[in-house]
Amino acid sequence: MSIISSTGHTTASTTSTLTQRLTAAACASILGACLVYFAGFSHIEAVHNAAHDTRHSSAFPCH
C-alpha cells in the first residue's frame, strides 16, 4: 500500500500581455470570418452542401 502525500502545489502560470491576447483574438476572428465567408459564398458544390443546413438555420444567406 502506498501513501501519496502532497505538501505543496506548484502551478505553472503563463502570463500574456494585453498585446498578445489582442493579437490572438484578432487572428482568430479573421480566420473565423474567412471560413464562414468561404463556406457561405463557395461555388464548390461539396462545400456548399456540407454547410447548407447550418447556414440556413442561422439565417446566413447562401443563394
Residues 46-57: pLDDT tens digits? 777 777 777 777
Could you tell me if residue 27 is inside a domain? yes
Q: Is residue 46 part of a domain?
A: yes
pTM for this entry = 0.50
pLDDT of the residue at 7: 62
Query: What are the Cα distances from residue 33, in Å, to 1, 6, 60?
Result: 56, 47, 13
Residue 28 lies inside a defined structural domain of this protein? yes
Count how many domains the chain has: 1
Residue 39 belongs to a domain: yes
Q: What is the pLDDT of residue 18?
A: 92
Give the residue, 45 or 23, on which the prediction is more confident.
23
How far, in Å, CA of 21 to CA of 28, rounded? Answer: 11
Dump pLDDT digits (tens) for 13-41. 567 899 999 999 999 999 988 887 887 77
Q: Which domain holds residue 53?
A: 18-57
